[in-house]
Every structure is written in structure tokens, then in C-alpha cells.
Amino acid sequence: MLKISKDRITEIFNTVAESKSLYLPVNREDGQAEFKKYENGMVLSENLNTLRSAKDFFFPQTENLVDFKMEGKNIEVIDVREECEDFVIFGVRACDARSFTILDKVFLADPVDSYYKNRRDHGTIVTMACTRPSETCFCGSFGIDATEPEGDAVCYTDGSSYFFKANTEKGEAFINSVSSLLEDGDTAELEKVQAKTKEILAKLPLSNLSTDSFGGEKLNELFKSEKWAELSEACLGCGTCTFVCPTCQCYDIKDFNTGNGIKRFRCWDSCMYSDFTKMAHGNPRLSQVERFRQRFMHKLVYFPANNNGEFGCVGCGRCLSRCPVSMNIVKVMKALEEK
């Protein structure tokens, strides 16, 4: 397999960054990793994953959709869309790579979301196989292999080198663009590392978490479960879980009055909020019990019901470590499973 030694990885970054914007996980001063636009001198984070997910690249927290300009009785509609430039995201984990497939099902289904598609078409995703899964990881429950991530190209490490493999044309183009830096390498050590990671994955505390009790056909039973009241009791309705989640996809569209026109923008929304899907009569989900239920029913029941059984969670564990009251999808699944 083509490889580069670990200490030369910045040469790859520099080469890619010459022609395209390159984003990679970099550590902040508080030790948390976040995707940053690469500049010479930046160091790839060793953290397992970024605090925020990678969905921001395709589905940003806020974006302008269209402008309206008013003059007298005339309204001019200004299309603000511009062709996005090519970019590369390096170091995406297997869980987050799968989240793009899930988001695609929402945004690329008819009618296609042209804003999302624009970014998706121009982005190349280079994933990174995991070697140190954490106790909060449960990607395996959703059929994701952390050692064999999806993505346009995949990067693996055996500790001393980075190996590259292309999955798509975009991935091949990426590897070709840096091929002068790569050499053919022996994968014996890599295979050992991969096997070891698989062992760890098998003994993760959540490795036995099963999705058998969930899916579209369980709708009535789960919707009516009496457990929701207790499960949602501590929930603050803050929305942190939805904002850090790579697959949460709900948004609101609002008009901002600029004084002589309107900027119509969309921003992330959260089913945990009191004004979510507010209509003339109010929010159809009157209390936090229903709002809380919505988030988990969406991921575990409604989404699979509409998408051939695919769940709307990738087991990244972000909601496990970020919820201020430590309530999360794993606790919900375990509680609902017990009859």
C-alpha cells in the first residue's frame, strides 16, 4: 500500500493546501480537537475525535439562503448561491464518515438541497482509521467498522507511517495529487495494529449494545412506552446533544430584516426546544417528555422506517460526553430494551 512516514505527513498537507482548502483536526489550547483550515505549521491532532462533528462542512450552523431587496412596491429576489471551491477534509473518523451518508439521505433526496449538494460535490473526504477507540464509542452497533472507514480516501496508521487507499474517483485524485511523496510500503505492522484495534473494539463497554429492539416496526410500542417520562426527567432541553451530533439535521428558516430588505437564513434547530416546529397553535410537542422522545424516536424508529432500516445514529458518543446531565441515547436504548 502507498505510504508516507509519520514525520513527513506535513509535506502532504502542504502539497494539498497549495491548490485547495484543507481542513484537519487540530488541538485547541484546552486540549479539545476541532477542524481548522490548514496553515503551515499546524499539527494533526492525536485525539480520537473532534468535539464538534464534521457535519458543519456540508450543513453549517447558519447560512444565508436568499436576499430580498425592497424598493417601493418592487421586491428583487437575489440568489446568493455561489459555486463552492474544492476542499479536502482530512482525518474524519468512520462514525462521522457514515453520518454523511445519513445526511445525504435527507438533503440529496428529492427535492435536492442545492446548498448542501454544492458543498458535497466539492468536498473530498479523507478518513482516518481509529486505533484508540474510547469507552463512549459504539459505532459497531450500527455496523460501522472503525478500522475500515468509508470516505473518498482512507488513511491508516501503524504508528510510524500513514498508509493511503482510495475508495472513489475523488479519492484517487487526492492520492494522485500527493503521489510523488508516497512510496510503496509493507503492511505487516499495520495488519497487527488493525487486529489489535479490532480486539479493543470487541471489548468496549458498549460493544454489546444491540439495535434489535428498534426500527420502524416498533413504532407504536416504543412511542407509547411509559419509560419516556422518567428518562426525560433530568433533561434541560438545552439542545447540546443535537448540536454536537453528526446526524442531527433539523433546521429553521428565518427572515432577518436588514432595514431595506430581508436576508433569509437557515440555522440549526433542535427538537429539544420549546419553539421547534412551532405553528399557529404552538409547538405540537407540549412538554419536554415529548420533545425528548422525538429526538430518540427519530434516530431509532422514524429514520429507519423511512430509510430501509438504516438508523439515524452512528454511535460517535458525542452526546454521551457532552450532555450536561449525562442523559443520552445509550441510556435510552438500554432502558427501552428492558421490558
Beta bridge partners of 266: 63, 253
314 near 99, Cβ under 8 Å? Answer: yes
- Please report how close the Cβ of residue 221 comes to ligand SF4 at its closest, in angstroms: 21
Residues that bind ligand SF4 (CB under 6 A): 48-49, 93-95, 130, 133, 137, 139, 144, 146, 235-241, 244-247, 272, 299, 313-319, 323-325, 327, 329
Closer of 16 and 300 to another protein (Cβ): 300
Task: Please state whether beta strands 74-79 and 2-5 pair in parallel, antiparallel, or not at all (unpaired).
Answer: unpaired
Using CB under 8 A as the binding rule, whether residue 206 contacts another protein is answered as: yes
In this structure, what is the dihedral angle of CA atoms 119, 120, 121, 124, given to the nearest 10 degrees? 100
Closest CA to 82 of 115, 112, 111: 115
160 near 9, Cβ under 8 Å? Answer: no
- Please report how close the Cβ of residue 223 comes to ligand SF4 at its closest, in angstroms: 18
Closest CA to 245 of 323, 177, 185, 319: 319
137 near 321, Cβ under 8 Å? Answer: no
Q: Which stretch binds another protein (CB under 8 A): 95-103, 122-130, 169-177, 265-273?
A: 265-273
Using CB under 8 A as the binding rule, whether residue 210 contacts another protein is answered as: no
Q: How far is CA 155 from the centre of its chain?
A: 18
Separation of alpha carbons 130 and 8, rounded Å: 20
Using CB under 8 A as the binding rule, whether residue 261 contacts another protein is answered as: no
Residue list 146-175, contact with another protein (CB under 8 A): none
> Residue 132 binds which one of ligand SF4, another protein, none, with CB within 5 to 8 A depending on kind?
another protein
- Site of interaction with another protein (CB under 8 A): 30-32, 46, 48, 51-52, 61-62, 132-136, 200, 203-206, 233-234, 236-240, 243-244, 252, 254, 256, 265, 267-269, 273-275, 278, 320-322, 324-328, 330-331, 334
